[in-house]
Amino acid sequence: MLVVLFVIMAATLISLGFIAKSDMELACGRNVSLRMQMDYLAQSGLTHAKALITNPQGADTAALGYWTGDNALQIEAGDDYYDLTVARDNSDPTDRCTYNIQSLAYRLQDAQKTAQSYLNARLRLDPCVAYWAGASTTVSNTITVNGDVYCSGNLTNLGTINGDVFANSLTGPVEGKRYDVAEAGVNWPGFSINDFTPNYYIDSVAYEAEVAEPNDTLAGSISFISSLNLAGVIVCSGNLTLSDVLIEEGTLIVNGDLTVQGASNTITSVKNFPALVVNGRLDVQSGQLIINGLAQTNTMSVSAAAANVMISGALFVRDSGITDCMGNITITAAPMTASTKISPDSGTTVKWTPIGAAFFKSIKRQ
């Protein structure tokens, strides 16, 4: 009986050891599985942030001009969440195309964040077109481009290009590299006066643009934003002149030539709308022109009497770029400002962005 009891006791101890080991291995397996779930959730957070940075039309960009992230986000209902923090890289003030993203995934238990997975990533928008020319062109020595340049032809650079060039051929130095035009992935915006008249739409609601008479001159501080014209759109069916005009929030559409005169002219677009569309020639004859947003024109010239042309957003010139350029021009890519979302009718919505693609330069686990 003693031998039998000893054998039973030994078997019991061995069984308990196996059970304890199995419980430990099961707990380890659950921990590994939970860690993998949190890692994948944190990576999903990075993908979420990338999607809203490259397609900012529906994101809240009011705070700093770009989407800054959000907390307690979920893919599906449950206890698993992720927090996102987005900040533009300010190491280069002219670089609006690099963003730092922090993604924290966690399981919420009793109001405590457990099983945390933390990723820190650096996202680069590439290409991010600041200046687009629809034919062979020369960038004069008075032009500075902070961003990428697209040229549907041969590009000769005598100025400063702080970015890559997408062209059939390149003559002259640039900060980045030359790529084939097919690799850019950024198309001509193609806005016309017909997109805004007789009405334009926001979320299926019709709005009516303000009409400027052909051969008229706009001057002074102008704002046509109202409940009937929510984007402050101004349209002109012929030639138009600007003379010391300030359009703080609005879009100017000129179905003809636009002449810029006076000491200073400024156009700042509202979210998802272009700042300036000229279906003719944009001729800066004197003074200063500041554009915050997308500027689209068929042709463009800048005289020596022009003090400065500064565009923060993107400049798209359909024909052979900026010709007769004797004044100073600075074009800085600002993709969050230049991206658009236009509804020419109640059933059609067209999204456009100067961003061709984006990639993560680095992803680090903290």
pLDDT the model gives residue 80: 93
The pLDDT tens digits for 266-315 are 999 999 999 999 999 999 999 999 999 999 999 999 999 998 999 999 99
Q: What is the mean pLDDT of the chain?
A: 91
The DSSP annotation for 28-46 comes to HHHHHHHHHHHHHHHHHHH
The pLDDT tens digits for 35-53 are 888 999 999 999 999 999 9
Mean pLDDT of all residues in 115-121: 93
pLDDT the model gives residue 333: 96
pLDDT the model gives residue 168: 96
The pLDDT tens digits for 219-240 are 999 999 999 999 999 999 999 9
pLDDT the model gives residue 247: 96
pLDDT the model gives residue 23: 55
321 Cβ neighbours under 8 A, 6+ residues apart: 131, 133, 134, 135, 137, 138, 139, 151, 300
Greater confidence, 34 or 315? 315
Cis preceding linkage at 56, omega within 30? no
Please give the Cα distance from 268 to 16 (Å, whole number). Answer: 75
The DSSP annotation for 304-323 comes to TTEEEEEEEEEEEESSSSEE
Mean pLDDT of all residues in 332-343: 95
pLDDT the model gives residue 347: 85
Whole-prediction pTM: 0.89
Greater confidence, 304 or 31? 304
Task: With cut-offs at 50, 70 and 90, classify the pLDDT of residue 8.
Answer: confident
Kindly tell me if the per-residue pLDDT of 7 is higher than 70: no
Please give the Cα distance from 312 to 290 (Å, whole number). Answer: 8
Residue with tokens 């006791």: 9
Please give the Cα distance from 339 to 361 (Å, whole number). Answer: 23
Please give the Cα distance from 247 to 294 (Å, whole number). Answer: 14
pLDDT the model gives residue 359: 95
Amino acid at site 104? L
The pLDDT tens digits for 91-114 are 888 888 999 999 999 999 888 898
Please give the Cα distance from 293 to 338 (Å, whole number). Answer: 5
Kindly tell me if the per-residue pLDDT of 195 is higher than 70: yes
| Secondary element (H or E) of residue 53 | helix 2-54
Task: With cut-offs at 50, 70 and 90, classify the pLDDT of residue 30.
Answer: low
Kindly tell me if the per-residue pLDDT of 6 is higher than 90: no
194 Cβ neighbours under 8 A, 6+ residues apart: 344
pLDDT the model gives residue 286: 93
pLDDT the model gives residue 24: 62
Task: With cut-offs at 50, 70 and 90, classify the pLDDT of residue 320.
Answer: confident
Please give the Cα distance from 299 to 59 (Å, whole number). Answer: 32
pLDDT the model gives residue 203: 84
> Coil, helix or strand for 194?
helix
**Per-residue exposure over 9-30, b if at least 16 CB sit within 10 Å of its own CB, e if not:** eeeeeeeeeeeeeeeeeeeeee
Mean pLDDT of all residues in 115-132: 95
Please give the Cα distance from 46 to 54 (Å, whole number). Answer: 12
Please give the Cα distance from 153 to 139 (Å, whole number). Answer: 13
pLDDT the model gives residue 144: 96
Q: Which two tokens stand for residue 159?
A: 């100025």
Cα distances (angstroms) measured from residue 109 to each of 26, 116, 162: 20, 12, 49
